[in-house]
Structure 1
Amino acid sequence: MSKLPENFQFSKTFEVGSFQVNPKGQIRLKDLADLLQESAWLHADSADFGRVLLKENLMWALSRLDIKVFKSPVWGQKITVFTGGRGIEKLFAFREFLVISETDEVLARAMSSWLLVDTESKRIQRPEKVLSDRLFSSEVPDWRPVKLELPSLPYLSATDREVATSDLDLYNHVNNTSYIRWVEDLIGSEDMVISGLLINYLAECKNKDLIRLSLHGDEDSCQIVGEIAGRKVFLATAPILKD
């Protein structure tokens, strides 16, 4: 495979560590999302629309993320994450990811939508303010993470979780991958295994917030709701991996 396939603009190779895998030796979805997030930051920093925005009181907030895993990377495996801008639609900037093995096998794909937020006023800004046409064109990708509705599947279980300092990011909010860890833990408590995840981030969570996590599902898929005092903070859905 060429160095930058499918018009991707940046790549980074990682080795899956022992601390990133589940009891089967496969990378956890949360840890895969960590690598996607790190690749996005590195790409943004390399093109001056990453950490430099902090000086202008701007930040990127992940709004939606759709991850599809075809074959889970395993402990010790070297994988390459490709990423690139995939257009702008109104206030959303889209970023795609491709994860491949050393033999060019496609292991996972993901699409994400981001919002540019003023850190002081909390108002959403137009992404064209900081993004170049070269990296983020006006063309909208066919694959876009969709807006999720409230669960329609049967209720299964729920648990309460207090936000801990280890959940927080550099903005002192819950990191987007911490939500994914919560989802994996809740699904795992029902002995379910998922092969991907679509998540909508709706509101911020902060340290010591008490979040109610509710799981709904059937034999094919599951739906998860996170809320604080009745206020929805995220919605997620995932396909169930069959034995």
Structure 2
Amino acid sequence: MIIPENLQFQLPYEVGSFQVQPDGKISLTSLADLLQEIAWKHADSADFGRNLQESNQMWVLARLEINLLEFPKWGQQIQLFTGGRGADKLFAFREFLILDHNDEVLARAMSSWLLLNSESKRILKPESVLPSELFDPTKKPDWQPGKISISGDLIATETVQARFSDLDLNYHVNNTSYIRWVENLLFDQGVRPDSLAINYLSECVAGDRISIRLYRSESWFSVEGKVGDKLVFTAKV
């Protein structure tokens, strides 16, 4: 299959029973898991993935936007595509596309990433490790995930504790765990989002208690998560 839209990497996939909600449609959390997986596979294939650990470097997802046109269903064959979309200052951008077996668009997503020194947590220039043919630092996408501000009326709160099963390889809460918390809080209000934007602002570790607050405005819902007074993520659906 020809990779569309000047993307650079593809992954065929069949949606599993463990990835869907009771209606048989994939959850946003499971979809985000797939985006994370193809991002790592692409990075590893071009030597800017897990090999960076040898030089004390790590990628951190800073912002993500997902727009669903149609929810993939249990057993459905889908095609995932991803590719670099340039850099802007300290952000490197990665786009995602999901198609069905008829090449119809099911979902699109855009993400922005930071490259950090894993010991000092100092932010590094992404072009220092990215191949220019994949992430041209002279180009930047028109679609860039934006900064999320919280507004509206407070309608729900919840406190969750970060557990071992929430952690990633760096012993930080995995980015998809935040999405699961947001998705569950929305489902409690009878809301199933078909779009999501999230900003990851500070790391969480096992044992942290995250206070999550859901706000409703006329056109959207927004969510914030705090550990004490520290804002760790914001989201908008």
Place the TM-score, normalised by the shorter chain, in its bin: over 0.9
Alignment of 1:130-149 (within 5 A): 130-137=129-136, 138-149=138-149
Amino acid at match of 1:169: D
> SS state of the match for residue 23, structure 2?
coil
Tell me how far apart the structure 1 counterparts of residues 34 and 2 of structure 2 sit (CA, whole Å).
18
Equivalence for 1:167:
166
Give the total of aligned pairs: 236
In the other structure, the counterpart of 2:97 is: 98
C-alpha displacement at 1:133, in angstroms? 1.1
Is the 8 Å Cα contact of residues 151 and 217 (structure 2) preserved in structure 1?
A: no
Offset at residue 219 of structure 1 (A): 5.7
Question: Partners in 2 of 1:182 and 1:166 — Cα distance?
Answer: 13
Could you say which residue in structure 1 is the equivalent of 2:128?
Answer: 129
Counterpart secondary structure, 2:39: helix
Question: What is the match of residue 155 of structure 1?
Answer: 154
Percent of aligned pairs sharing the same letter: 53
4+ runs deviating over 6 angstroms? none
| Contiguous gaps of at least 5 residues in structure 2 | none
- Pairing 1:215-230 to 2, within 5 Å after superposition: 215-218=214-217, 220-230=219-229
The residue that corresponds to 1:176 in the other structure is 175
Which residues of structure 1 form unaligned runs of 5+? Answer: 239-243
Query: Which aligned pairs between 1:1-243 and structure 2 lie closer than 5 A?
Result: 3-137=2-136, 138-149=138-149, 151-218=150-217, 220-238=219-237
Report the aligned-residue RMSD.
0.8
Structure 1 CA distance for aligned equivalents of residues 126 and 148 of structure 2: 23
Q: TM-score, normalised by structure 2?
A: 0.98
Match for 2:140: what amino acid?
V
**1:107-141 Cα shifts (integer Å, max 9, x gaps):** 00000000001000011100011011100012110
1:8-46: CA deviation from partner (whole Å, max 9, x where unpaired): 000001110000000110000000000000000000000
Instruction: Kindly state the Cα deviation for residue 220 of structure 1 after the two structures are TM-superposed.
Output: 3.5
